Every structure is written in structure tokens, then in C-alpha cells.
Structure 1
């Protein structure tokens, strides 16, 4: 009887995710809310905590493949990065990471008022992170990109060492709000939108196939029962920037993303914003 009772208990998942930068991560709240929604929809028992170690994207992905320090990371879809890992092919933010607005110095807005095409944008220099797939997408399109660490990119933009720092629309406003005393001259540029197919996926460690299957099962169920869209349509991390950004009034500069895996390309249209 005791053995049967133990077997009937759901498996417990102890999930550890990386610290992307020191201190508070303004981006974690929505991804963790989606994770919670998915795990509950799958009737899974779990705990989640942040690793003590700060990891840039490349290190976090390497740890998922080779290490045992973390179990889960949410980051941009990328054919190369997905190999060897268990990836949940449902975009966490409905594609909003690929809706890129620019962090700029506020006195530079007149320069961006003159930008109307990809060719115009090629005259300026963007800042992007080390190991980000966005860097490769932009360079492949012919744009000038300088790379540095995430936190340094804000001071580089503030100091005029790069002209603009493209961020997902849901990232930019929260990031500036968190750093207004450090980089007070930075704002979100008000009329352009760089647009390409991209979003964050849940990347799960090589040895955690059951965890990936559980997240995927629950995430799919949360879409079907409407609970994911209820979260998306009410969560301040999504809705506040959408209100601030005036996406409908922006000039779109579209880019191709040649770095999608075949599984990324097969993601159903219902999972994307249109």
C-alpha cells in the first residue's frame, strides 16, 4: 500500500534559472508567471529559484547543455542554441521580443526623425549584447552593430559610443525605469519599429526531458483554456509598454530572421501577435 501511495504522488521538479544581471531582473516576472501557469495546468508539483551566479546568455546555454547548475533559461529562439537542449516551441511573449524599439539619448530624436528605411538606419551604429542572436540578425541585414555586456550597453548609449540600443518593446520601458538615476538622458525613441520574427522560448537542460514535456503540455493547455491570454492581456509587464509604445503609429522597418530552426518556423500562427 505504501509503495502504491508513493507512486501516485506527482513528481516534484526543483527548477533553477540563471541570474542574468546583478540585482532585480525586471523581465523575470512574466516568464515566471507563464511557467507557473504551465506547471499548474499540467498538475505538476514544483519549486523555482534563481541561481546565485550571474550568467550571460552564452554561459547559461552552455550550463544547460553541460552543467548541473541550472535547469531552465528563457531566451531568444536560435537554431544553433536549440541543438542539444529540450526546447518548448511556444513563444513566451507572443513575438513581442521581435518588436524592437530603440533606446536613445533624448537629444538624438531629431536624427531618428530622418530615418525612413533600412538604408537610412545603416548610417547609425547599434549596440547589442554579446552572444545575442539579435546581433547576427541585424548584421545580416547590413546594420552596423557594436557588442558589449548588457549593462554596459546602457552607459555606451548614454555616452554616445553607440547611437541606439534596440530592445524588445516589453523590455525597453521597464529597463529605463529601473535605471533612470544611472542613465537619466536615455528615452525610448518615439517613431520607429524594427520588426522580425523572434521571441523567448523556454530552454530546458539536456537531462530534463520530462520537465520540458511538462511545461509544453501545460503551456498548450493554458492556451486552450484561455488562461494564457487572460494573463497576457492583464499582466503589467506586457500591457504597460504596449500602452506606452504606440506600435500602430510607428514606421516599421522589417528584417528577415534566417536563424530560426525548422521547429521555430512551424510554430502555429495562433501563438503570435499579428
Structure 2
């Protein structure tokens, strides 16, 4: 981050604290984060661990804090409504959405460095050869693809020309893929290998495609209830601190290098499509351009420092 960006960032935090009455008094802040969408869904563990690190990094000036995972499994629309109130949950790590940006407090630091937008397809083994023969985006979009009804990537896929088959239930998408309702099911690099392994017992025919990556600009932000501005300030300050002292990268790569190496992104045919909800310039407005990962890089050297 250059000096001007750093100055503006801290100035905005100061103004934010003055306008909202947030002070650095010692208090027992209570973070209540969302439960995953399914008992088989462990995609949020990194975001829980990262928030724990943020809390630890801000104890000196914000005091003690507790982090609780809600015991309620809710759809994203229901989570959004709960966040606006801030009682049952008050923070979530989720892909950026316009409505969320406007009605919640977004912490605009992309905590997954963009890799959730590095989409690899779960497919049936019988379709592996068909995917291996694809050379154009038009060929790829001719295949039905699956998506959660409330996922922000759904709109990006539709605008790119995909016929998107939807479901409101996370687990059901794997069942629909198994039954041939669609051919491809795009998942982030941070998700796909865990999911194929987790669902292997129920759907042994599902595998990760080895040839294609669909690149969609996608930022995972922490979103905080508008009724909890102190928690938002604490998260933003804490994230910046652990980025500056390298604790962020340590945790990020420990969680993600296995998947970055296994995916062999730089050996894949990469198609990039636009996301109407966010651009890469927006994603890097606080942290700078170098913060996001480049899927064409060879991660073996970088990851050797962390594994």
C-alpha cells in the first residue's frame, strides 16, 4: 500500500469513529458469525480463523472479544435480513453484492485474494473428455451449468451466456449434477477439492475437471450489521495490522496453498468473464493491485515458504 492510500485509509477510520461515536474503550465485543449452509459445508473455517486472528491483533486497544458461530443454518437472503438487525448474527464473510454493500457495513479488503473467483468445474467423470476438448468460451457456455439461486456469481454466468440451472439448497446442487440436470458446476479453488472429497461417498462419479478455469472477479468481504459499527471498525483495523505484519499471508497460504498447487491453474485454459457487481480495481482500492493473486503464476515457489 502506498503512503497516500495508507493516509486516506487511516483518515477515513478516524472520521468513521468520530461520526459513529466509536471509541477504543475496553469492552467485551461479541462477534456472532454465520453457520455454514450444510453440515458437510466447511468453506467458512478460514474466515472463522481469520476473524480470530483479527480479534487477537486488536485486543490492546479494543479489549477482549468473543467469537461465536451461530447454530442456525440459514439461506443467504435470511442471513442478510438477520445481519440488518444484528441480533442473531452480526458478521459474515461473503461475496460482494450491491444490496449488501448498501445496507450493511462492508470491510472492503478481499480476504481470499480473489481466488474464490478462480472457478474450476465439478463434473461427472463421463464428461471429462468433453471438457478436455473445449477451446472457446462459446463451447463452454453451451453446456448447462449449476449455481445457487442466491449466489452473486449466478448473474455473471448468465450475462456471459451460460444457461444457469439453479437451486436454493447447497447440498441439492451436487445431487442435481449427479442426475445430469447440468454438466458443469463451478466452484472456487478454495472449495472444489474439499467438496469433491466430502461428497465422494454419495456421488463417487463427481470429479474436478483438470483442463479449464473460469475467472470471475469476486471479492469475499466481511460484512457487519449496520447496528455494530464498532465491530466493523475493529475488523478493518485488525485486518490491516495483520496484513502489514505478514500474519495475514501466513494464515492465508497455510489454508490455501494445498489447493493452489493441486489446481495447477497456470496449466489450464483460462476464460475470463466480467462480474457486474464488482471490478478488480474496486477490490484493490484499499490493499493495492499486488494483493490479488494471478492464476497464471506458478505457486510452487511461493507456497514452499508456508507448507
TM-score norm. by structure 1 comes to 0.91
Of residues 61, 67, 74 in structure 1, which corresponds to 2:93? 74
State the 4+ residue runs in structure 1 displaced beyond 6 angstroms: none
Aligned to 2:165: 146
d(CA) in 2 for partners of 1:186, 1:41: 41
Flag the 1:231–1:265 CA change in 2: closer, same or farther, 3 A.
closer
Flag the 1:52–1:143 CA change in 2: closer, same or farther, 3 A.
same
Aligned to 2:57: 41
Of residues 28, 33, 36 in structure 2, which corresponds to 1:17? 33
1:26 aligns with 2:45: no
Of residues 184, 207, 223 in structure 1, which corresponds to 2:243? 223
For structure 1, the 5+ residue unaligned runs are 1-6
1:251 aligns with 2:236: no
Q: How does 1:225-240 map to 2 (within 5 A)?
A: 225-235=245-255, 238-240=256-258
**Maintained 8 Å contact 1:20/1:54:** yes
**Maintained 8 Å contact 1:57/1:75:** no
For structure 2, the 5+ residue unaligned runs are 1-22, 295-307
Structure with more relative contact order (C-alpha pairs < 8 Å, separation 6 or more): 1
d(CA) in 2 for partners of 1:21, 1:257: 24
Aligned to 1:110: 129
User: How big is the alpha-carbon RMSD for the aligned residues of Structure 1 and Structure 2?
Assistant: 1.8
Deviation at 1:52, TM superposition (A): 2.0
Of residues 185, 210, 213 in structure 2, which corresponds to 1:193? 213
Deviation at 1:179, TM superposition (A): 1.4
d(CA) in 2 for partners of 1:109, 1:263: 36
Structure number having the greater strand percentage? 1
Deviation at 1:20, TM superposition (A): 2.8
For residues 126-156 of structure 1, give each alpha carbon's deviation from its aligned partner in whole angstroms, at most 9, with x where no partner exists.
0000111100011011111011021110011
Aligned residues: 266
**Maintained 8 Å contact 2:284/2:291:** no
d(CA) in 1 for partners of 2:261, 2:95: 24
d(CA) in 2 for partners of 1:79, 1:226: 30
TM-score norm. by structure 2 comes to 0.82
